[in-house]
Amino acid sequence: MLAKPAATLPAGSALPGGTVYEPEWDGYRAILERTPEGCRVWSRNGADLTAGFPDIVDAACEQLQPGSVFDGELVVWREGAWTSPL
């Protein structure tokens, strides 16, 4: 689900089970896949983003086990603020 802007936030008890909020960084939504052959980064639309994130790919290949898949947002935190990673 993509985030949408809102003028106000509902109270924490507004929904059954409660509500939790997290920041929307507006980075690159990506899926990182670690296979026995290496690592790939994909957009939610299936575009191959691997070449644009060599540091992420290298770190993932070093630290993750084959068969791992992560869904998240790629952002660069620099000097107290995020910047576009590309």
- Give how far Cα 53 sits from Cα of 11, 26, 42, 85, Å: 38, 16, 10, 8
Print the domain residue range for 61. Answer: 28-83
3 belongs to a structural domain: no
38 belongs to a structural domain: yes
9 belongs to a structural domain: no
Residues 82, 28 contacting (CB under 8 angstroms): no
21 belongs to a structural domain: no
7 belongs to a structural domain: no
* Structure confidence by residue, pLDDT tens digits, 7-35: 888 887 888 888 877 766 677 889 999 99
pLDDT bin (cut points 50, 70, 90) of residue 79 is confident
40 belongs to a structural domain: yes
39 belongs to a structural domain: yes
Domain count, the chain: 1
